[in-house]
Structure formats: C-alpha cells, structure tokens
Structure 1
C-alpha cells in the first residue's frame, strides 16, 4: 500500500471515528445511561465493532470528551481570529451553537471533573473563550464591570439553551445566534426608549 493510499484511508477512518464520537455525544446527552448497544445502533454499526474502537464505556466517554474539546478549541480559535466590531462575540456564538450536543456532553458530565488531562484542556479553552468575551467588553459591546466568571457562565448558559432549543425544534438554527447575542448583550427587559 502506498503512503498516499494509507493517508487517504487513515483520513477516512479518522472522519468515521469523529462521526461516531459526535453521534455518541448526541445519544449520551439524550440519555446519559444509554447502553453502548444504543450508541452502536445510532452510529449504524454493531456493538462488536464499537468495542473494537473503544473497549469500555469509560474509553468511549473519554474519547467523546476529547472530541468535544477538539471541536470547542477549533471554534474558539476561529472566533478569536475573527475581525469584527464585537471582538468575535457573534462569530463565537455562531460556531458554538451547532456543537451544542458536544458541549452539553462536556458540561453535563461531572465525571470529567476528576480527569486531569480533560480538566487542563477545558480550562485552556475556557480561557480562550473568555479572552474573546473580554475583547468584546474592551470594545464597549457590553458592560466592563461584569466579573469574568459571570461573563463566561452567562454566555455558556445562553449557548447551551440555544443549542438545546435548536435540537428540540423550538428555535430555528438561523435564529439562534441573534437570540443569544441579543439576550447576552441586552437581557430580557423591555427595550430602552431612544433619546
């Protein structure tokens, strides 16, 4: 087998593996106690095939967590590079809502609180996301007196709810970024009268 053929097959296997992990995240967010047979069925593979990839449930959970972190790191890095008046805020929302199931998998699983490697990656990507939010603050897009922890957690909460609402059909995917940004920047109070 040539190096070129091997690279193409390796890429195809990685793509298949990534799709499997994304499907696993969706299944496990919908039902955290779902058996591996349900994950395999949703992915269109047999349970034996799933076990060839991930010998135990714990192996699968860690792989799904790392895949979610990979995707989160990618979207935060892209938003960090965005050139916009809002410092990349909208770009961050637009990128995070579609990966809602992966983020929900991370955010709703307390088992990862004790996995050092995942914790380090999580802190690093949260710091990068906070840097985007702080840049938006610095550009006057939002109040400067909001504490970092509140800024980050309020933002994550809105992204989480938007992604859940898109998943349940209550919110159109195209409407989600506008609703998140508007709620994040202006809240839910009545519009301020123009002067």
Structure 2
C-alpha cells in the first residue's frame, strides 16, 4: 500500500470526515476501482489508516530508550513529527474501543511516568492523569500545527513546558495554602 495513498486518504478524511471513497480516489489520483480493490468499504479504509497510524506510533516508541533521562523529551519529539497521520486516531471515535493495539500503548508510558514521579513529575497526581495530560498536549500541538498556529519545531517545547510546569515536581497550588 503506497505511503502517498495513505497520506492523501488521511488528509482528505481529516479535512472532511464524511468524504467518500470516490473523494479519496480523486485526491490520490487513482481510479475508484483501484481504491475499491484495496479497500472495499469506507470502514476498511479507515481501519487501514488506523493500523498505519499505529504502526508509526509503535515504531516511534520502539526507538525511545525508556530508561534514559531524556526519554520523555525524545518520546514527545518523535510523536509530534508523526502528525497528521497519528491524529487521525483521535478524530474517528470508536477506533480505540476495539483496538488492543491502542490500549497496549499506555503501559510503557505509564511505567515511564511512574519512574519520573517524585523527581521530574509530581507524585501527588496519578500516573494515568499525567499520561492523559501528555496525550492532550500532543493532540493540541498537532491541531495547532495543522491550523498553522504553531511551528512544528516549537511544538516539543510547548508540550514539554506544559507537562513539566503543569505537572512538574514543584509545589502545587494546593500545597501552598
């Protein structure tokens, strides 16, 4: 399956989530019959795009040394460059409910966060909350990049500053009262 076709299909569906296979074929410069041979239904195309996005995420995660001091910085940088193909996963509700691959992404991240709690991340917040904060930051950065509000090279700094200053190991507002 060509990378161009996957990238084009992702772009078309992100721009218009109701786009037909015909719309995708036209944008990709292939015939509808060709596209239908590879993806008999719109649902099959969406599942293929989700699998492609998961392949990209898994590949990025496999390149991160989770024991390194800068693992979280490396992780954020690697994930941010995957936009827009990865943000596709967040735009089509229901993909995460039935995909064990999506659920399998959390444990190594939770382990990393737990390891960093007390040193670089706050101990008084649950690891799952910090993970959701990180995921939200990545999503917001992807959205801002696509909208042209955030330069891709600035995105890691924005996400990491928000993560460490928002859930960093410093004294929280509740502790100051």
**TM-score interval, smaller chain:** 0.7 to 0.9
Q: 1:28·1:34 contact (CA, 8 Å) conserved in 2?
A: yes
Q: What's 2:127 paired with?
A: 148
Match of 1:181 in 2: 160
- Counterpart residue number, 1:75: 60
Please name the residue that 2:32 is paired with: 47
- Structure 1 moving runs of 4+ over 4 Å: none
* Matched pairs, number: 168
Q: What is the distance in 2 between the residues matched to 1:136 and 1:26?
A: 36
Give me the whole-angstrom Cα distance separating, in 1, the residues matched to 2:11 and 2:112.
Answer: 27
CA contact (8 A) 2:80 2:141 kept: yes
The structural deviation recorded for 1:83 is: 6.0
> Runs of 5+ in structure 2 lacking a partner?
172-177
Q: Which residue of 2 aligns with 1:5?
A: none
Of 87, 99, 103, 2:82 maps to: 99
CA distance in 1, matches of 2:97, 2:160: 32
* Match status 1:127 vs 2:81: no
Q: Which has the higher helix share?
A: 1
Q: CA RMSD in A?
A: 2.2
SS at match of 1:60: helix
Unpaired stretches in structure 1, ≥5 consecutive residues: 1-13
TM-score (norm 2): 0.84
Could you report, residue by residue, the CA deviation over 1:74-94 in whole angstroms, capped at 9, with x for unpaired residues?
112212x266423x1111111
